[in-house]
Structure formats: C-alpha cells, structure tokens
Copies of this chain bind each other. A is one copy, B any other.
Amino acid sequence: MSVMRSIKNKAAIVGIGISSFSRDSRRTELRLACETIKAALDDAGLTTEDIDGLVKQTDDASDEHAVTSSMGMGNLTYFGECRWGAAPSAMVMRAAMGVATGTANYIVVYRAVNGSSRRRMIPSMRTSGQMSTSDLLQWTFHAPFGHMSEAGRVAMIVRRYMHEFGINSEQFGWVPVVCREHGAQNPDSMYYKKPFTIEDYRKSEMVVEPLRRLDYYEDADAAAALVVTTAEKAKDLRQKAVYVLGAAQSMVPETEELNSYYRRSISGLPEMAQVGKKVFSMASVAPKDINCVQLDDSYGPFIPMQLEEMGFCGRGEGVDFCNGGNRIRLGGELPLNTSGGSLGEGHLYGMNHVIEAVRQIRGMSTAQVKNARLVLVASGAGSPASGLILGGK
C-alpha cells in the first residue's frame, strides 16, 4: 500500500483550443465551450470518444452533461469542479490527479464565458442568491457602508501595499503597458494592434483610488479548453507534450475572496507564497530557471506582489522589477503574460494564461520566448490561489 509521492511528471497537456476574445461572441457559452473542446481534441489528434473526464469551473454556465450530450461523448468516469480565481491551475491539477490515479485517461478542462455580452460571473448584491451564506456573512461588515465592488475590495489591499513600500500609484503602469504590448501582437486578443503608452496609463481615469481604469480587466466573451492525459499516453499523440512538473493549491488562514482584511498584514498575497514554495519544490527548480511567467493580472498591482511572493524578487521590490518594463517584456529576463493575459488579451478568469504557457513550451506563441522550457502559471491573486510549472522535455 505505497503512496505516490506527488503527481510530478505523471500528466501532460496534449491539446489546446481557444477562441478569440471579443465584446460579443454572438454565440452561446455552451457553443463556445464545445467549439474550443473540439479544437483541443483536434489539436491532440483525439476524438470525443476518447474523453472520459471533464473538469470545469464551478460557475461555468455549461454543465458537464450539457457538454457530453452536445458533443456526443461516451461514459465519463471523472467529473468535478473548482472555484474562485484559483480555478485554472487547480483544474489542471485535478485533471493531472485524475490521470495519475487511473481515474480517467483523457480529461478535458474547459471554461467558456460571455462575460461581456451576457453576464458577469462575480456575484454582486443584485445576484446575492448565488452567494454562499458565508460570503454574505463576510460582506455584512462592509457592504452596508458602500464597500461593494470587486475593484474597491482590491483597492484596500493595494493602498496598504503602497503605504508600506512607498509606492506611487503611477508606478503600477508598467505592468498594464507590457501586457497590452504583448496582447497587441496577438490576433485573437481583444486589443490586437492596440497598445498604449505609460502616458496613456497616467492619464487614464481613476476609478477606485489607487486603481485606474487600465489597472484592471475588462469583461470579455471567450472560451478555452485543454486535454490532459498520462505522460505515457502523451508520447503517442500529435503534439509535443507539455508536462505538469509542479501543481499546487493554497488557502491560508483568514482568507476571504479579495477582502482578507483580518490578517495581521494585508499588503501581501501569502497564498501565492505557499503556491510558489510548493510548485518550485515539486518541480525541483528555482525562480531563476523559469523562462516566462503567466500570472494573475486581473488587477495589475497584484503582479509585483506575486513576483515578490513567489521569489522572483525581494519583498517590496516588485514595482522596481517591473519599472520601465524591460525585464518583463519579450526579450527581458522574465517575460510576463506573453499572450497579453487579462489586461492585454482579455479576461477568461485565468484560463488563457494556462493555454499561453502551453503555447510557449510548444514554441507557438505570438510573443515567443526563445527556447522556453519552463513556464510558471499562477491563478487567483488575492483569493484562494493555485499554480503550475509546465515544462517540455
């Protein structure tokens, strides 16, 4: 009765599919989901009959049974869901656990959302019927005072970070500028050929101090899917296999989603520190070995914090690391969100970051890092978090 030590090297991503990002997809979320799943299967050289597992984001509009029925899939032996911003990396981790334990052989991970044309996923007071009792309980303490928006909740954390490390809000501009630079090269991006400058950033509307309009994501219509199988089976398939070398989830004490205000310090992302520690240890690599990163840029100021927490620079040095953009843009020492990410490609709740990591390792990104062998993905800044280290052979 021996225990497998970890899922390291047990699973690989063998197919990917992603839609273009737009403000109106002009088709249903279910159709978007099926289209990208079909694309991922075609990419891998698999058919719907091969699929015996599905993993989804909890709030996704397309249930597993709707997908199986619409696509004519057969029997599933594995299905389940992950929540929060942590979902994308956690979904791949779940799929890796599924194939590593023999629970299923070919598992599809999917996410489809008409976030712009149809609905926002994030619960608001209007849709409180969808919130858990415990979320409502936490909101009780600030919602009556008007502290209700997602950006407003994030702003509190960013303000404290600025205070502790003497940061001026204009300094946050380089992350959105670079993400948009990368996205402007990506034909599927919502911002293809639409870069902006640091001056544009500085002039951009201040929405919730210290967050400007360009500091955070805009809702999009988009979908993505990928296929995970065992490392062995991956060898027989069409594409270069992209292995799951490290995978982790983390929830630390006093976590709330984007408003973990009861911690001793609120200027950091301690769950990301835990994720970093775990994925580096599992993959037996260090930050200096990583060729590019796909981090959670739903809110730009969370990027320097993630770089710090995961050990790419010291505490309080993240903003300096990003300053001028040269380190984090293509050609720099640590290119960031090379498809554009949430700020420069479009918001798909982090799934596009995973897809882009796979493209980098395959060498097919529109902002390709030379010889990218190790890519780190982080999901869920400011909330329960997860991460991956993906690599080629």
Contact = CB atoms under 8 A, between A and B. Distances in A.
Interface of A: 1, 3-7, 9-10, 28-30, 58, 60-66, 68-69, 72-83, 90, 93-94, 97-103, 127, 129-130, 132-135, 137-138, 230-232, 248-257, 262, 274, 278, 384
Interface centre among A6, A99, A384 (most CB of B within 10 A): A384
A65 B84 CA distance: 12
- Which one of A68, A99, A134 has the greatest number of beta carbons of chain B within 10 Å? A134
21 contacts: A4-B4, A6-B102, A63-B132, A63-B135, A66-B133, A66-B134, A69-B256, A75-B250, A76-B250, A76-B251, A76-B252, A77-B278, A79-B384, A80-B80, A80-B82, A80-B83, A80-B249, A81-B83, A93-B103, A101-B101, A129-B129
A1 B101 CA distance: 13
A98 B97 contact: yes
Given A80-B80, A97-B103, A66 B28 contact: no
A260 B72 CA distance: 15
A159 B127 CA distance: 38
Contacts of A97: 97-98, 101, 103
A101 B134 contact: no
Which 5 A-B residue pairs are closest in the complex by CB-CB distance? Answer: A66-B134, A61-B133, A76-B251, A63-B134, A65-B255
A130 to B, nearest CB: 6
